[in-house]
Structure 1
């Protein structure tokens, strides 16, 4: 049996690498290879697909998790492997909630993509034990509390303390305390530097991009 696959990834090199790997196996046929998640669900309706390799964050603003959710509602039998190079801490939880079958980090996963695809098609759900640990200033990403991560995510949007307090429904003093702890842990001297580095590393992504 030959399984039919679709690749959704905005990076040309990534798409071609996936295709190169898959073309070496007689078990797989790449039916579609597209650079946006925006219309991924329409490809699913038009094609007889078994599995979708879905990148998460696209440069055109489309989101692979949103597209995967639509696909799972339209064709729940189609397997989906979410792939990303960004260590955003919330994505694995959302992927599980959507019903995405497997999750693969491009640079950090121990298992190769062919192994993940094969096991997923066989009925397994393959997820890493944790998000890759990254360095943010002087601190490792595992050193932050869930609330500190929420505050940090809002900081990357340029939100002030008043706005953060309102959105998280906490006091202004609590926000200031969390920001102070973030600065102490990371060693950054300004909240702007902290926010920029958090965004550059991909540790947290602005919620409007998700």
Structure 2
């Protein structure tokens, strides 16, 4: 039996690397290779596939997790591996809720993509134990509390303290305290610098 695989990734080099690895195995065939998640569900409807390798963050604004959610509603039996190089802390949880079988970090995972493909097709669900640790200024990502991460995510959208307070249901003073702790831990001199670096590192990415 030959397993048919679709690759969804907006980076040309990543797509070619996936194809190179997959073509090493005579049991796998890359049926489609597309650079956007926007129409991934259409490809799924119009062809017989066994597995989708789905990058999460696309330059055209499409989101692999949104596409995976649509696919799972259309064909819940179709297996999906979410892949990313960004350490956004919420993505693994959302992938699990959607029903995505496996999750693979491009640079940080010990297993190769071929190992993940083989085990996923055999019925396993493979997820990393934790999100890769990244540095945010002087702080390690693991040193931030869940509430500080929530505040940080809203900071990256450019909203003021009042909006953060309203969104999280906490007082203005508590918001100010969290921001002060974030600045103290990371060593950044301003909330703007903190927000920019949080997005550059990919530690938090607001889904606009």
TM-score of the two chains, using structure 2 as the length reference? 0.99
Whether 1:138 aligns to 2:138 is yes
Q: Which residue of 2 aligns with 1:165?
A: 165
Distance 1:168 1:58 in 2: 28
Distance 1:34 1:180 in 2: 43
Whether 1:200 aligns to 2:178 is no
Unpaired runs of at least 5, structure 2: none
Q: Which residue of 1 aligns with 2:81?
A: 81
Unpaired runs of at least 5, structure 1: none
4+ aligned runs moved over 3 Å, structure 1: none
Distance 1:128 1:152 in 2: 23
Q: Which deviates the most, 161-170 or 43-52?
A: 161-170
Q: Which residue of 1 aligns with 2:32?
A: 32
Paired residue secondary structure (1:53) = strand
Q: How big is each residue's C-alpha offset from its partner over 1:18-66, in whole Å with a ceiling of 9 and x where there is no partner? A: 0111111101000000000001001001110000000001001100001
Q: Which residue of 2 aligns with 1:92?
A: 92
Q: Which residue of 1 aligns with 2:46?
A: 46
Q: How big is each residue's C-alpha offset from its partner over 1:64-93, in whole Å with a ceiling of 9 and x where there is no partner? A: 001001111111111000000000000000
Distance 1:119 1:129 in 2: 16
Q: How big is each residue's C-alpha offset from its partner over 1:114-139, in whole Å with a ceiling of 9 and x where there is no partner? A: 00000000000000000000011111
Report how far residue 207 of structure 1 moved. 2.7
Paired residue secondary structure (1:207) = coil
Matched length: 208
Whether 1:17 aligns to 2:34 is no
Whether 1:185 aligns to 2:185 is yes
Distance 2:207 2:70 in 1: 19
Whether 1:4 aligns to 2:14 is no
Paired residue secondary structure (1:97) = helix
Whether 1:106 aligns to 2:106 is yes
What RMSD over aligned residues (CA atoms) do the two structures have, in Å? Answer: 0.5
Whether 1:149 aligns to 2:149 is yes
Distance 1:144 1:24 in 2: 42
In the TM superposition, 1:111-126 aligns within 5 A as 111-126=111-126
Q: Which deviates the most, 96-105 or 163-172?
A: 163-172
